[in-house]
Amino acid sequence: MKDGVNGVALGVFIFFFLAVTVLGFLAARWRRAADPLHLDEWGLGGRSFGTWVTWFLLGGDLYTAYTFVAVPAAIYSAGAGGFFAVPYTIITYPLVFLFLPRLWSVSHKHGYVTSSDFIRGRFGSKSLSVAVAITGIIATMPYIALQLVGIQAVLDVMGVGGSDSTNWFLKDLPLLIAFGVLAAYTYSSGLRAPALIAFVKDALIYIVIAVAIIYIPYKLGGFDDIFSKAGAAYAVKTNGVPRGSLVTGPQAQWAYATLAMGSAMALFLYPHSVTAVLSSRSRDTIRRNTTILPLYSLMLGLLALLGFMALAADVGGKGYNAQLAIPQLFENMFPSWFAGVAFAAIGIGALVPAAIMSIAAANLFTRNIYRDLIKPDATPAQQTAVSKAVSLVVKVGALVFVLTMDKTVAINFQLLGGIWILQTVPAIVGGLFTRWFHRWALLAGWAAGMGYGTWKAYEQSSPAQSHFGGNSDMIPWIGEKGYIGLTAFVLNIGVAVVLTLVLRALKAPAGVDETAPTDYTAEATPALPEPTDPAPGPTPGLPEPAGA
Q: Long-range contacts made by residues 109-113, C-beta under 8 angstroms, separation at least 24?
A: 109/515, 109/519, 109/522, 110/514, 110/515, 110/519, 111/40, 112/278, 113/39, 113/40, 113/43, 113/44, 113/278, 113/363, 113/367
Longest dimension (CA), the chain: 72
pLDDT at 201: 85
pLDDT at 126: 94
Tell which residue, 213, 210, 189, 192, has the closest CA to residue 56.
192
- pLDDT 10s digits, 234-273: 888 877 778 888 888 777 889 889 989 998 999 899 999 9
In one letter, which amino acid is 71? V
Q: Long-range contacts made by residues 171-174, C-beta under 8 angstroms, separation at least 24?
A: 172/403
Burial of 25 (0-12, 13-18, 19+ CB in 10 A): middle
Q: Residue 117 above 60 pLDDT?
A: yes
Judge whether 207 and 200 are in contact, CB under 8 Å.
no
CA-CA distances (angstroms) from residue 54 to 131, 314, 377? 28, 39, 32
Q: Residue 447 above 90 pLDDT?
A: yes
Q: Residue 58 above 90 pLDDT?
A: no
Residue 164: band (very low, low, confident or very high) from pLDDT cuts 50, 70, 90 = low
In one letter, which amino acid is 304? A
Residue 67: band (very low, low, confident or very high) from pLDDT cuts 50, 70, 90 = confident
Q: Residue 515 above 90 pLDDT?
A: yes
CA-CA distances (angstroms) from residue 361 to 43, 97, 287, 420? 10, 24, 25, 15
Separation between Cα atoms, residue 434 and residue 276, nearest integer Å: 24
Counting every residue written for the chain, the total comes to 548
- pLDDT 10s digits, 173-218: 777 888 888 888 888 888 888 888 888 888 888 899 899 999 999 9
CA-CA distances (angstroms) from residue 58 to 177, 201, 415? 26, 12, 20
Q: Which of 62-76, 328-342, 412-426 has the highest mean pLDDT?
A: 328-342
Rg (the chain; Cα; Å): 23
468 three-class SS: coil
- pLDDT 10s digits, 263-320: 899 989 999 999 989 999 888 889 888 888 888 888 888 888 999 999 999 887 655 6
Judge whether 341 and 325 are in contact, CB under 8 Å.
no
Q: Long-range contacts made by residues 372-377, C-beta under 8 angstroms, separation at least 24?
A: 372/120, 372/126, 372/129, 372/130, 373/126, 373/130
Contacts of residue 347, defined as CB under 8 A and 6 or more positions apart, other chains included, come to 13, 16, 17, 65, 150, 151, 154, 178
22 or 527: whose pLDDT is higher?
A: 22
pLDDT at 438: 96
321 or 504: whose pLDDT is higher?
A: 504
- pLDDT 10s digits, 7-26: 888 899 999 988 888 888 88
DSSP structure class, residue 207: H
Q: Residue 535 above 80 pLDDT?
A: no
Residue 120: band (very low, low, confident or very high) from pLDDT cuts 50, 70, 90 = very high
pLDDT at 466: 76
Q: Which of 87-91, 227-231, 306-310, 423-427 has the highest mean pLDDT?
A: 423-427
Region 215-231: mean pLDDT is 92
240 three-class SS: coil
Burial of 146 (0-12, 13-18, 19+ CB in 10 A): buried
pLDDT at 528: 37
Q: What is the residue-averaged pLDDT of the chain?
A: 84
Within 221-335, residue ranges assigned H as helices are: 223-235, 253-266, 271-278, 283-292, 294-304, 306-312, 325-333
> Within its chain, how far is the Cα of 248 from the centroid?
25
Q: Residue 79 above 90 pLDDT?
A: no
- pLDDT 10s digits, 338-387: 999 999 988 888 888 888 999 999 999 999 999 999 999 999 899 999 99
Is this model's pTM higher than 0.85 or not? yes
Report the percentage of the chain scoring pLDDT > 70: 89
pLDDT at 194: 86
pLDDT at 51: 85
Judge whether 330 and 168 are in contact, CB under 8 Å.
no
DSSP structure class, residue 532: P
403 or 133: whose pLDDT is higher?
A: 133
Region 128-135: mean pLDDT is 96
Q: Residue 538 above 60 pLDDT?
A: no
